[in-house]
Amino acid sequence: MAGKYRVLLVERLDPDAERRLAEGADVVRPADTREETLCAAVEFCDAIVARTHNRITRRLLEAGRHLRAVGIAGVGLDNVDVAAARALGIRVIHTPEASSDAVAEFAVALMLQLLRPIPRLAARYRAGEFKTVRDRTHGPELRELTVGILGMGRIGSRVGRIVAAGFGARVIFNDIVEVGPFPFDAQPVDKSTLWRDSDVLTLHVPSTELTRGIIDARVLDVMRDTAYLVNTSRGVVVQTGPLVQALKSESIAGAALDVVDPEPLPADHPLFHLEHCILTPHVAARTHGGLHRMYAVVDKVLAYLRGEDTAHEVR
């Protein structure tokens, strides 16, 4: 089978996924990920396999004279010119459900971390402040709170199930399409109500014209001063400057961000110096199982090249 197809592998995957890809195709490995390098490498390739931070531009797609498919090891397609691919007759294949559970679990973990700041409490214990810390209360219980979910799709609905069925929290949500019913109590609300009534607002939307910058100064001002913001979706959904100001002025109680704009933040960025802001380096999806399922895109790409039906294609 090797040699029947040529696949441009933009960046390394895990060894097992690369082995499977090499068994079904000749793998082309570019010297770097610059657009001009990729354009030169893709000319005679049947497919591209890339990750969610690799830009798949119209220029790159047009450079692939024999290109039939683009496989993205991940959930989002923000990095792909899907309209150009569609116009050129190139199938885009991704793994939208690969990391849903991983990201949902991580979002809930961030909520708990905001409410009960375990590392900070542990550090103060190590610093000899046992009695001082123990004499104070530290945060509410999640079951006492209203969790607001922006985007009730694959990940948002999992978060809703965990906090409603597992913790007993009240769940409200907003989505641009009609969703549900769900196997847990969840109330649809308009966006104004979502901003105003959420004790914890968690974001689970893609990057689109409707969502970029949606969490702005106006929204942050409407939120309760006891409310927390959690973002495990896309950095551009939250306007970073207004968030810094909201945290500094304590117009919200805290934030936990796995994604930011820009990414990565410079080391001297003010968010790193705010005690009630948790920053993690875009790792919510990166569990063993999550990555394994993302890298299974190589199997879907090979199946498509062989003429087999492939799930999660963008036509």
> pLDDT tens digits, residue range 117-170?
998 899 989 999 999 999 988 889 999 999 999 999 999 999 999 999 999 999
Q: Is-catalytic flag, 126? A: no
pLDDT tens column, 279-292: 999 999 999 999 99
Percent of residues, the chain, with pLDDT higher than 90: 87
The CATH number corresponding to 6-97+289-314 among 3.40.50.720, 3.30.420.40, 2.60.40.650, 3.40.50.300 equals 3.40.50.720
- Tell me what pLDDT residue 138 has: 85
**From the candidates 91, 94, 170, 282, which is the catalytic residue?**
282
- Tell me what pLDDT residue 76 has: 81
Mean pLDDT on 88-96: 95
Is 94 within 8 Å of 119 (Cβ atoms)? no
Same fold, 6-97+289-314 and 100-279: yes
Predicted confidence band of residue 3 (pLDDT cuts 50, 70, 90) = low
Q: What is the mean pLDDT of the chain?
A: 94
**From the candidates 170, 204, 234, 293, which is the catalytic residue?**
234
pLDDT at 299 over 80: yes
Pairing verdict, β 26-28 and 6-9:
parallel
Mean pLDDT on 10-38: 96
**From the candidates 34, 263, 273, 306, which is the catalytic residue?**
263
Buried b (16+ CB within 10 A) or exposed e, 86-110: eeeebbbbbbbebbbbbbbbbbbeb
- Tell me what pLDDT residue 53 has: 86
- Tell me what pLDDT residue 1 has: 42
pLDDT tens column, 159-212: 999 999 999 999 999 999 999 899 999 999 999 999 999 999 999 999 899 999
Q: Per CATH, is 100-279 categorized as 3.40.50.720?
A: yes
**Residue pointed to by tokens 């933040």:** 265
- Residue, of 105 and 99, whose pLDDT is higher: 105
| Rounded CA Rg of the chain | 22
Q: Is-catalytic flag, 234? A: yes
Predicted confidence band of residue 2 (pLDDT cuts 50, 70, 90) = very low
Q: Is the pTM of this model over 0.85?
A: yes
Q: Is-catalytic flag, 282? A: yes
Domain edges within the chain = 6-97+289-314, 100-279
Helix 288-295 to helix 297-305 angle (10° resolution) is 10
